[in-house]
Amino acid sequence: MPELPEVETIAKQLGSVLAGNRIVGLTVLSVKSFVGVKTDVVSQKIVSVSRRAKVIIITLDNGKYLLFHLKMTGQLIYIDQNHRIAGGHADHDWHAELPNSHTRIIFDLGDERKLYFNDMRKFGWCRVLTKKELDEYLAKYGPEPLDSGFTLEYLKGKALSSKIAVKKFLMDQSIIAGIGNIYADETLFAARIHPLRPVGSLTDKEWNSVIREAKRILAFAVTKGGTTDSDYVNAYGTKGGMQDFLKVYHHAGEPCPDGCGGKIEKIVVGGRGTHFCPACQKENV
């Protein structure tokens, strides 16, 4: 599933071509994929495209919002006479004939311009929301790790004496918005913290290291267009570049990149494959 850097990249790139377009038609091919009233969307101009946590927000000029969650296999694909711009799941659909069997929603923008929402497994969705409904939905997310609310005091307050594994804690979207499997692994390796450490056991120094490294890694990942795992391309239908800089994610069995003499191991934490160096990241400290 795309994380903060990947969704940020998609939102910025799609925003560059969608802003200013008017939605002149809307076709829903999968009722499960669309929640809202069509008349709230048709005839409305797209003002902007933005991101919060792992969701994409399209602002309309009538005060309504289109909220997209790509989940595991969702794609947004923009087509006009000169461009085909797509982001999300990296299967063949983004350059295949459209619409196809995976197409769930079609936004007609006029003059042969269209925005397709494709989703192979139908876990992703689009919702039409008012400002109040959008605020209520987004309120369930914690602060963005690149924003000022991501602080030592905040994290300690959420952790208290909890025994939850720090890896699960970092991936809890109600606590921190936008960090998933890849960047949790990379952050904890950089901070030298074992993914199974109970969050209540972390010291102030360790929390500050988590904050510093998460901000550094995520900001760098945004500049690289995110990580191309098996299921992500950016809005130009090309692969991100961050995977060339990952130190532990998908490197199980390889020597520690920092030369400590250990090897990267893979375990399961909270149902997710988790990569770490047992020599650098001690479970018992």
DSSP states along 247-272? SSTT-TTSBPTT-SS-B-EEEEETTE
Q: Which of 22, 156, 272, 278 is catalytic?
A: 272
pLDDT at res. 175: 97
- 3-state SS of 34-97 is EECCHHHCCCCEEEEEEEECCEEEEEECCCCEEEEECCCCEEEEEECCCCEEEEECCCHHHHCC
pLDDT at res. 284: 79
Q: Which of 2, 5, 145, 195 is catalytic?
A: 2
pLDDT digits (tens, 9 = 90+) for 233-261: 454 555 556 778 899 999 999 999 999 99
pLDDT at res. 29: 98
Q: Which residue has the higher pLDDT, 227 or 71?
A: 71
In DSSP terms, which residues pair with 59 in a beta bridge?
A: 48, 65
pLDDT at res. 214: 97
Q: What angle do CA 90, 92, 93 make, to 5 degrees?
A: 95
Instruction: Specify whether 2 is catalytic.
Output: yes
Instruction: Specify whether 272 is catalytic.
Output: yes
Q: Report H helices in 57-147.
A: 131-138
Q: Do the bridges between strand 125-129 and strand 34-35 make them parallel or antiparallel, or are there none, so unpaired?
A: parallel
**How far is residue 214's CA from residue 150's CA, in Å, rounded to a whole number?**
10
pTM comes to: 0.90
Q: Which of 5, 6, 52, 54 is catalytic?
A: 54
Instruction: Specify whether 104 is catalytic.
Output: no
pLDDT digits (tens, 9 = 90+) for 104-149: 999 999 999 999 999 999 999 999 999 999 999 999 999 999 999 9
Instruction: Specify whether 54 is catalytic.
Output: yes
pLDDT-derived band of residue 231, with 50, 70 and 90 as boundaries?
A: very low
Does the pLDDT of residue 67 top 80, yes or no? yes
pLDDT at res. 96: 73
Q: Residue 82, SS3?
A: coil
pLDDT-derived band of residue 83, with 50, 70 and 90 as boundaries?
A: confident
pLDDT at res. 13: 85
pLDDT digits (tens, 9 = 90+) for 18-49: 999 999 999 999 999 999 999 999 999 999 99
Domains of the chain with bracketed CATH = 4-138 (3.20.190.10), 152-276 (1.10.8.50)
Does the pLDDT of residue 89 top 80, yes or no? no
**How far is residue 159's CA from residue 179's CA, in Å, rounded to a whole number?**
17
pLDDT at res. 112: 92
